[in-house]
Every structure is written in C-alpha cells, then in structure tokens.
Amino acid sequence: MNEAENSKDSTFSVRRYIGYSVFITASFLLVHALGFRENTSVISGIPTGHKEAFLGLVYVLTYFAFIGLVPILLIAAAILTIWGKLHAARKSTSPEN
C-alpha cells in the first residue's frame, strides 16, 4: 500500500477529523434550529414528559460534542497537517540511502 492510500485509510486522517467536525456541527445546528433547546429544562429537575426529556438529552449531547469535540478535532487536523508538511520537507531534503 502506498503512502497516499495509507493516509486515506488511517485512523489519524485530517480529512476524517474535518468530516467528523462538520457532521457534529451540522447535527448541533439542526437540533438547535428545530428548537430542542427548549426541552433542556429536564436537566434542572423540572418534570417533563418522556419525549421532552429525550429531546433535551439529544440537545445536550450534541451541544457538548459541539463545544468539546469540534475544537479538539480541528486542532488535531491542523497539527497533523503541519506534521505532515514538516515530515515531507524533512524527507525530501534527507539524502537517499
């Protein structure tokens, strides 16, 4: 397997990290636009129905993923990009064995 195929299939892939970030962001924007935020009162102990509790839980999980995972994934993608460029530059300047 060559290096280009390996980078596409790798667990540590810039494209994969950015894709996850876009998916989480789109999910959060969707549940926010649908008004799931109104159902988060269940967190403070206000009794609600099962549907409202579920919608509130979905909103909270997507919110925490949005504010917690998206920045980490984007920073990791930036670090991998920089690392790859430095590695490629070092590899191209090293003498062949």
Q: Where are the domains of the chain?
A: 15-88
pLDDT digits (tens, 9 = 90+) for 13-68: 899 999 999 999 999 999 999 999 998 887 788 888 889 989 999 999 999 999 99
pLDDT digits (tens, 9 = 90+) for 10-24: 677 899 999 999 999
Query: Torsions phi, psi of 47, nearest 5?
Result: -65, 130
pTM across the whole model: 0.77
- Distance, CA of 60 to CA of 56 (rounded, Å): 6
pLDDT of 1 strictly over 70: no
- Distance, CA of 97 to CA of 93 (rounded, Å): 12
16: tokens are: 């994969």
Q: Show the CA angle centred on residue 57, arms to residues 56 and 58, nearest 5°.
A: 90
